[in-house]
Chains A and B, each alone.
Chain A
């Protein structure tokens, strides 16, 4: 793990470095979990003549992740929140646009199941937040998959072929990084977004791939020199097969971690765009838009601003903890501790 990490502390499209990247050079690995225990078990198994069960690298990674307590708790909480969003039609007590003037401006109460209160028009904010989560998770998943796809392709091609292709692609990546991220996103969604969630998602993805492209390029640059790549080439494998069957699986760790962090970042940025009025437009409910709706009456109805915001914080917090756990699990040499 030397060159692969070069791109990691890089600044992402919005100038926010990935979480806890500063810890990459840390040597403060907690002794209790991870590979040390596993090799101890192996040694013990040999001594006592027990049969050793073979485990793949992924199985080890899974074991390490499951032992990361904070990440596991976060995963459960996140699944509950995202599950509620996905099942919004069944879970939400009211429709997101259901107006009920009798109950306008009700504070958070168990009465009538207005857990997060209602707004001026009597719309139930708990239901609106759940539908907002649905929108956010859809957008974030599209952004993460599309950005990962572009980033992997660009990074793989640049890293594998090197020379002028690498130069051209990486200079272009640098160029994208010199643009002020949020401003470019605002411009793009103002002129192209139309307030449509899928369009906004694609626009975000077109700016979010740069960090990953750098990481993947770094991995490919070092991995293409490995003996197994030479062996594959000697056996007659084509470039595509070597890139995606042989090198890519060995570069998956950072890719998965980065994709996770992109989900969190996408939720934050989409919320900011929608808040400023350039992201997702009504009637589609979006968490950022919910907050800006509550902004004008915030002094009387504090709950309209508070709860959608807390929801965003909780979701992104969970995603970042999971990303941290994944980093520890997939890349034991880079162990950090939250």
Chain B
């Protein structure tokens, strides 16, 4: 196991390097910052020269890549093109907010997905099973941004008509009162978390149902029943533990999808997370924060893929890597 983890870690390094080059080369190739700057009449020739010099924009892409990596490693991604505030300060502000959202959504999705999936499987072809299947199909077909808007409209209407504030529909906080800070944050994040988790709930339900069905029809479950164990004990102790394995790994692999969903949800609910930060920099055509963002996210995805692999090996001892 240890050698496997070590080997897998070492394998991640070339992947990370290749990903960084792919990100830098493609973004630099498509987004030519100088061209945009020249079109802007407010930027003088002198500033243009300063920026060019600071970011080595007159060099070919491979050379600029080396400068960029150097900047990233020694100076935490340096500064954006136009302003002098460090990229890292912004990133450390927004990343925790996004992680709060993503982790809460993931936990909610696993909880609901596992419960619904297991119940669907043990009551196969029941009305509950059919409704759950239908609901997950609708979940797959639902654009997250549309659901977000509909819920936003709904809860705003509820507030305007009844005056009761159940959930907030935009922003992260409304007060800095530390006593109610947590409650306040939950009220703000509740709808975004629900929106973000819908697609994952649909996925996990399907996975959980399928893997649970596969397990309940296996021989050792029949053995467990035959030796007279109670049905709940068979389901919870014997079947569920094995059926959870695929769902655990899938949920670790799902991180990239959740980040994508977070971009949309955070933008709609105006949460100060990675999504709006990314979108704003795309709008101002500033490639440096964009590349830093992509690099951080790719690193997180690689780490989660690693976790998925390790978890898989740990949870299912039949899988031998070495």
Chain A's closest residue to B12 (CB) is A178
Please report the C-alpha to C-alpha distance between residue A155 and residue B255 in the assembled complex, in whole angstroms.
Answer: 25
Partner of A186, one of B140, B145, B211, B282: B282
Please report the C-alpha to C-alpha distance between residue A190 and residue B282 in the assembled complex, in whole angstroms.
Answer: 7
CB pair B297 A183 closer than 8 Å:
yes
B107 interface residue (CB < 8 Å to A): no
Please report the C-alpha to C-alpha distance between residue A271 and residue B146 in the assembled complex, in whole angstroms.
Answer: 10
Whole-angstrom distance between the Cβ of B152 and the nearest chain A Cβ: 8
A15-B257, A299-B157, A317-B138 given as contacts; is B214 within 8 A of A25 (CB)?
Answer: yes
Give A107-148 as 1s and 0s: 1 = Cβ < 8 Å from B's Cβ atoms: 000000000000000000000000000000000000000000
CB pair B137 A14 closer than 8 Å:
no
A276 interface residue (CB < 8 Å to B): yes
Partner of A180, one of B22, B199, B260: B260
Please report the C-alpha to C-alpha distance between residue A188 and residue B150 in the assembled complex, in whole angstroms.
Answer: 28
Which stretch in B72-80, B179-187, B246-254 binds the other chain? B246-254
Which of A14, A174, A184, A192 is the most central at the interface, judged by chain B CB atoms within 10 Å of its CB? A184
Please report the C-alpha to C-alpha distance between residue A117 and residue B18 in the assembled complex, in whole angstroms.
Answer: 51
B13 interface residue (CB < 8 Å to A): no
Chain A's closest residue to B300 (CB) is A180
Please report the C-alpha to C-alpha distance between residue A277 and residue B156 in the assembled complex, in whole angstroms.
Answer: 24
Secondary structure dominating the interface of A: helix
Number of A interface residues in the complex (CB < 8 A): 57
Whole-angstrom distance between the Cβ of B115 and the nearest chain A Cβ: 16
Whole-angstrom distance between the Cβ of B66 and the nearest chain A Cβ: 20
Please report the C-alpha to C-alpha distance between residue A264 and residue B142 in the assembled complex, in whole angstroms.
Answer: 11
CB pair B18 A299 closer than 8 Å:
no
Secondary structure dominating the interface of B: helix
Please report the C-alpha to C-alpha distance between residue A25 and residue B218 in the assembled complex, in whole angstroms.
Answer: 12
Q: CB-CB < 8 A to A192: which residues of B?
A: 30
Chain A's closest residue to B14 (CB) is A171
Which stretch in A226-234, A235-243, A245-253, A306-314 binds the other chain? A306-314
Partner of B210, one of A26, A182, A305, A309: A26
Q: CB-CB < 8 A to A191: which residues of B?
A: 27, 30-31, 285
Interface residues on B, range: 35 or more
Q: CB-CB < 8 A to B144: which residues of A?
A: 272
Partner of B263, one of A23, A178, A186, A306: A186
B279 interface residue (CB < 8 Å to A): yes
Chain B's closest residue to A295 (CB) is B149
Q: CB-CB < 8 A to A320: which residues of B?
A: 137, 140-141
Using A179-B19, A187-B294 as known contacts, list a sample of 15 further A-B pairs with CB atoms less than 8 Å apart, ordered by residue number in A: A14-B260, A22-B211, A178-B305, A179-B23, A180-B256, A181-B260, A182-B259, A183-B297, A187-B27, A191-B27, A276-B145, A309-B146, A316-B140, A320-B141, A338-B137
Closest 6 CB pairs of A and B: A15-B257, A182-B260, A22-B210, A309-B146, A316-B141, A22-B207
